[in-house]
Amino acid sequence: MFDPFNRSSSANASRTIKGWVSSALRLSEDHTLLVTELKCTEPDCPPIETVVAVLGPGGQQHQAKVHLAINEITREEALKLALDLQRLMAGEKRDNREDCDGHH
């Protein structure tokens, strides 16, 4: 059941996840990580998911999701999310290169 009265803080868990993801991706200081738990309200969606996003200095945005609460995310899960993010970031680099090749 939706419980609006029970929103607990997960700042420590959030920090830990950011640490795992950041070191796995070897992110520099100019990248920011966002960890947020969404209580999904659509009928066909799982009731809870956590979004981990990387925001790059040039406005790049990548996100990966897992159907777990923040407090349930283990190191293993965090590394899977990091892997997803790495693929997205690599894809962006490749796209950018192709764009450049196309232009020149």
Question: Interface residues with another protein (CB under 8 A)?
Answer: 1-5, 7, 9-11, 13-15, 18, 29-30, 32, 34-36, 38-41, 51, 53, 55, 57, 59, 61, 63, 70
- How much is the CA Rg of the chain, to the nearest whole Å? 16
**Residue that has been written with the tokens 């950011």 in this structure:** 18
How is 28-42 classified by DSSP, letter by letter?
-TT-EEEEEEEE--S
Q: Which residues make Cβ contacts (< 8 Å) with residue 81, sequence separation at least 6?
A: 17, 21, 52, 64, 65, 66, 73
Residue number, 6 or 102, with CB nearest to another protein: 6
Q: Whole-number minimum distance, CB 101 to another protein, in Å? A: 26
Q: Whole-number minimum distance, CB 7 to another protein, in Å? A: 6
Q: Whole-number minimum distance, CB 18 to another protein, in Å? A: 7
